[in-house]
């Protein structure tokens, strides 16, 4: 018999609450009294977790510890930061920096998440059944190259904002809905799968990795070259049926053109003229 920790806000929050210790691998070794004494910040006010949240323990048949956050957590930031194991379920909306630097375990959101979800994560899984804000699976601004997401999986069943997967190194990001501009900015590895539409500039300054856009791509940057037309593309174990234009780039960043951008042929009729490039004899 395992245990399940349920946490519920005592009231609506007007300012951000920083609660980076809301993670199962940390709470699992603590008593209820110790959990209630955890230090959190509501704005610039230092307080105890128990002052802001009701905390209770329940029995469960699962042997793995599960932490359940019930209610509106949209003003609560840094949930699951550096989490390494266990399961965290959020039954509602949550705030910025969900799963920041996450290393393992699973986070399930039965609502929406805000900006910087999964930023700089290296392992584990985040699954959001609603939509997310900007900078999904991205690196924080101002940091040096090669510091982006290095592993793990992020799945969003709704839409995502701008700059998905900035400086992505490894891992998988799947968006079932649409994205705003600049997915895959400066990415060097990993995979981004967009099953809906993109507002444009996908793969800007990318040097490696793979982006697949099943909907309309919002136009292609002029620094990508058409390589071929393929019938399908494989993302992990899933085969995505096409056909797709395979474009390589971004040459403004790397003349080797190691980045791969797959764009649906049927959903991007404005790119039909690109097919003429495939008919040019190689000697020309």
pTM of the predicted protein model = 0.94
pLDDT value for 72? 97
Q: Give me 239's structure tokens.
A: 């085969």
pLDDT of residue 100: 97
For each of the chain's 284 residues, which pLDDT tens digit applies?
A: 567 999 999 999 999 999 999 999 999 889 999 999 999 999 999 999 999 999 999 877 667 789 999 999 999 999 999 999 999 999 999 999 999 999 999 999 999 999 999 999 999 999 999 999 999 999 998 766 667 899 999 999 999 999 999 999 999 999 999 999 999 999 999 999 999 999 999 999 999 999 999 999 999 999 999 999 999 999 998 999 999 999 999 998 878 889 999 999 999 999 988 887 776 555 43
- Where exactly are the structural domains of the chain? 1-86, 115-284
Peptide bond into 150 cis (omega under 30): no
Q: What is the pLDDT of residue 253?
A: 86
CA distance 252 to 134: 24
* Tokens matching residue 191: 């995979």
What pLDDT is attached to residue 171? Answer: 97
Residues 233-266, buried b or exposed e (16+ Cβ, 10 A)?
Answer: beeeeeeeebebbbbbbbeebeeebbbbbbbbbe
Backbone angles phi, psi at 54, to 5 degrees: -85, 130
């Amino acid at each position: 018999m395992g245990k399940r920790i349920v946490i519920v806000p005592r009231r609506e929050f007007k300012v951000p609450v920083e609660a980076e210790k809301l993670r199962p691998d940390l709470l699992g070794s603590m008593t209820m009294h110790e959990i209630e004494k955890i230090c959190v910040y509501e704005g610039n006010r230092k307080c105890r977790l128990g002052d802001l949240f009701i905390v209770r323990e329940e029995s469960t048949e699962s042997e793995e510890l599960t932490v359940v956050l019930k209610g509106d957590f949209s003003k609560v930031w840094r949930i699951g930061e550096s989490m390494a194991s266990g399961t965290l379920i959020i039954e509602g909306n949550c705030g910025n920096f969900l799963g920041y630097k996450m290393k393992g375990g699973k986070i399930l959101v039965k609502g929406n998440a805000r900006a910087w979800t999964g930023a700089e994560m290296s392992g584990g899984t985040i699954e959001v059944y609603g939509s997310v804000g900007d900078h999904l699976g991205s690196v924080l601004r101002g940091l040096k190259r090669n510091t982006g997401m290095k592993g793990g999986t992020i799945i969003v069943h709704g839409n995502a904002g701008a700059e998905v997967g900035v400086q992505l190194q490894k891992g998988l990001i799947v968006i079932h809905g649409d994205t705003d501009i600049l997915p895959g900015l400066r990415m060097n590895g990993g995979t981004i799968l967009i099953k809906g539409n993109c507002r444009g500039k996908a793969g800007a300054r990318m040097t490696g990795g793979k982006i697949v856009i099943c909907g309309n791509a919002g136009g292609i940057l002029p620094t990508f070259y058409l390589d071929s037309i393929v019938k399908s593309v494989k993302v992990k174990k899933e085969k995505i049926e096409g056909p797709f234009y395979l474009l390589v780039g971004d040459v403004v960043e790397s003349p080797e053109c190691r980045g791969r951008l797959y764009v649906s042929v049927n959903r991007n009729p404005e790119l039909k003229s690109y097919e003429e490039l495939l008919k040019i004899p190689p000697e020309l």
